[in-house]
Structure 1
Amino acid sequence: MSNQDHEPCATGDLEVRSLSDHEWRVGDRRCHERSPKKVLGYIEKRGSAFEVMNIEAPRRHVMFDHFESAVASFASVSPT
């Protein structure tokens, strides 16, 4: 599954849904709830860290120290 044709998402367009006390789904609030483009990835709390699985790179899991940083990793970054 991939959303490679998905438009980049700004931080304000991110939507976080709790799946359990340690798992969250990150989506694009601009997309319809039933659209496969809605889901950007998942965050899972592992110990004191947060593991991100981005649909764009499903085999690459990235760890973050803070939940907010994990969520922000789904937002587009402007080139500098």
Structure 2
Amino acid sequence: MKTIELSTASQSLSAYAEEFSQETIVLTVNGKAVAAVVSLEGVDPESLVLSTNQEFLEIIQKSRHEFKSKKTLSLEDIKKEFIH
């Protein structure tokens, strides 16, 4: 990961993106991260949108917690419940 302070950047953003095409570039203002430039090579648009969707991330977090707490149903239980 490369960090670039915008006030001291000596190249254009496109030049940095090209130079560090396989790295995440974190842009900072007064030392505080304000944005990131990441490679989207091999990333589909749906994955990108979901990875930044707070509601989706909360669903994933809840599901992981339930799984760890053994609050899940087996495939057999689901079949019994929904397939008669």
Q: Which of the five TM-score ranges fits, normalised by the shorter chain?
A: under 0.3
Q: Which has more strand, going by share of residues?
A: 1
Identify the structure with bigger relative contact order (alpha carbons < 8 Å, sequence gap 6+): 1
Using the size of structure 2 for normalisation, the TM-score is: 0.20
Look at both structures and tell me which one has the larger radius of gyration over its CA atoms: 2
